[in-house]
């Protein structure tokens, strides 16, 4: 059966939700011995969180990234509210959807730049001030909230040929306030009073101008800014296009110099296992006794070049499924490079919520990354004309 474009978007958006809410599906019963890993570089991080039954991996990954940024800048360890960014994202997304008369993507997903934009416009607040759990549960669950929001917008758009009643925005905001909570104008934190803007600047050290998104696809001009054509880029965020070798170089340079990476990519491969904490691109799949891929036995991996990467992007076997936080690099017994990656599906897997993505997996399945501009090597910054 041929999959429609809309169905593709729905499936891609649901991967983030379904996998997060049902981590047991990724667990494998058969224990296997992992290689020994030697850590090369690792940044300071905050604790593992769980996005639970939501499609908000973009906010969890980028909030974790900003938390590590605060530590790197000597600002200390702080727990940032992911739902604060979600709360501010929904009105922007709704306005876009209505202005496009429903001919735009409206889902739970977004990308890292949507967190940066929200923080630039509205500041940042701590988790203890705004946890977004205003609906009687102790875990995040946006199924009903999203259905209400989407239904409301589609109802507004049914009045074609008539002037839109601007009251829809008030009703929409009221639903968000009911489920996520009202946005604080000021709050007490560690004995001081802050606004979201002053907290972002003084406590977190946030500066939106420091962050750059990169991608690597042949259908865009090299070393030029481009609008990455993936469903969750509803805001038409700008990415700089580099070669896959340079994308890898940026990631390695970032980690070597104490910076981390907000990572967006595909997690739909059979050789991606959150339960086992590994993601590889096997040259030949070796099945275990349980009939599933034995990740360790399936190494060695394919060597990934630009052409292979482009092919999977063009045929939709690489899509923007999920965002995570890359916080370190390591090598196994055979010198194969892996990236230590912090997920947002809780701490129930074999690595306490982390996973190892191989070099080949990252080269093939990365859709885009967000980094501090100082993490980019000078020769690449010069090509991109980034100061």
For 110-119, how does the pLDDT look when each residue is reduced to its tens digit (9 = 90+)?
A: 999 999 999 9
Q: Give the mean pLDDT of the chain.
A: 92
Q: What is the DSSP string of 179-209?
A: HH-PPPS-EEETTEEE-HHHIIIIII---GG
Q: How are beta strands 366-372 and 211-215 bridged, if at all? A: antiparallel
Q: Which of 322, 330, 340 is nearest to 44 (CA)?
A: 340
CA distances from 27 to 17, 30, 265 (A): 16, 9, 21
Q: Which domain covers residue 85, as residue numbers?
A: 5-384
CATH classification at residue 254: 3.90.70.10
pLDDT, mean of residues 78-103: 98
For 38-73, how does the pLDDT look when each residue is reduced to its tens digit (9 = 90+)?
A: 999 999 999 999 999 999 999 999 999 999 999 999
For 187-232, how does the pLDDT look when each residue is reduced to its tens digit (9 = 90+)?
A: 999 999 999 999 999 999 999 999 999 999 999 999 999 999 999 9
CA distances from 283 to 99, 194, 272, 299, 360 (A): 47, 54, 14, 7, 10
Confidence at residue 289, expressed as pLDDT on a 0 to 100 scale: 80
Number of domains in the chain: 1
Q: Which residues are catalytic?
A: 57, 322, 343
Distance between CA 241 and CA 228 in Å, rounded?
A: 9
For 323-365, how does the pLDDT look when each residue is reduced to its tens digit (9 = 90+)?
A: 999 999 999 988 999 999 999 999 999 999 999 999 999 999 9
Comparing 31 with 129, the larger pLDDT belongs to: 129
**Residue burial 240-254, b: 16+ Cβ < 10 Å; e: rest:** bbbbbebbbbbbbbb
Confidence at residue 16, expressed as pLDDT on a 0 to 100 scale: 56
CA distances from 195 to 113, 144, 184 (A): 22, 30, 8
Q: What is the DSSP string of 17-77?
A: HHHHH-GGGT--SS--PPPP-EEEEE-------B--BSS-HHHHHHHHHHHHHHHHTT---
- Identify whether the C-beta of residue 43 lies closer than 8 Å to the C-beta of residue 260: yes
- Identify whether the C-beta of residue 51 lies closer than 8 Å to the C-beta of residue 346: no
Residue 272 has pLDDT above 60, yes or no: yes
Give start and end residues of each alpha helix (H) in 189-316.
196-198, 244-256, 306-314
| Residue 288 confidence class, pLDDT cut points 50, 70, 90 | confident
User: Considering the entire predicted model, what is its pTM?
Assistant: 0.91
Distance between CA 317 and CA 6 in Å, rounded?
A: 16
Q: How are beta strands 366-372 and 261-265 bridged, if at all? A: antiparallel
């Amino acid at each position: 059966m041929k999959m429609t474009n809309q169905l593709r978007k729905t499936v891609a958006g649901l991967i983030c939700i379904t996998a997060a809410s049902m981590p047991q599906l990724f667990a494998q019963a058969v224990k296997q011995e992992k290689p020994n890993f030697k850590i090369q570089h690792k940044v300071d991080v905050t604790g593992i969180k769980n996005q639970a039954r939501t499609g908000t991996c973009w906010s969890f990954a980028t909030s974790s990234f900003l938390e590590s940024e605060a530590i790197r800048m000597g600002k200390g360890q702080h727990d940032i509210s992911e739902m604060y960014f979600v709360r501010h994202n929904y009105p922007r997304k709704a306005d876009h959807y209505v202005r496009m008369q429903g001919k735009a993507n409206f889902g739970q997903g977004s990308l890292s730049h949507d967190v940066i934009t929200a923080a630039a416009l509205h500041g940042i607040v701590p988790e203890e001030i705004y946890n977004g759990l205003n609906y009687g549960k102790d875990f995040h669950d946006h199924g009903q909230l999203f259905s209400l929001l989407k239904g409301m917008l589609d109802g507004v758009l049914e009045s074609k040929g008539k002037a839109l009643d601007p009251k829809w925005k008030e009703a929409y905001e009221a639903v968000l306030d009911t489920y996520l909570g009202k946005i604080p104008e000021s709050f007490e934190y560690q004995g001081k009073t802050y606004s979201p803007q002053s907290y972002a600047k003084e406590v977190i050290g946030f500066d939106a101008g420091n962050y750059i998104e990169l991608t690597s696809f042949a259908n865009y001009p090299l070393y030029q800014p481009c609008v990455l054509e993936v469903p969750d880029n509803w805001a038409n965020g700008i990415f700089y296009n580099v070669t896959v070798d340079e994308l890898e170089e940026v990631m390695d340079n970032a980690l070597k110099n104490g910076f981390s990476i907000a990572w967006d990519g595909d997690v739909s491969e059979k050789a991606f296992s959150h339960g086992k904490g590994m993601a590889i691109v096997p040259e030949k799949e070796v099945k275990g006794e349980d009939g599933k891929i034995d990740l360790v036995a399936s190494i060695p991996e394919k060597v990934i070049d630009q052409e292979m990467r482009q092919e999977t992007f063009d045929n939709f076997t690489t899509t923007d499924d999920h965002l995570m936080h890359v916080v370190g690099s390591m090598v196994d017994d055979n010198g194969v490079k892996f990236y230590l990656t912090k997920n947002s599906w809780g701490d129930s897997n074999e690595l306490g919520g982390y996973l190892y993505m191989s070099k080949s997996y990252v080269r093939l399945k990365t859709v885009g990354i967000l980094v501090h501009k100082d993490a980019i090597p000078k020769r690449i910054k010069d090509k991109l004309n980034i100061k």
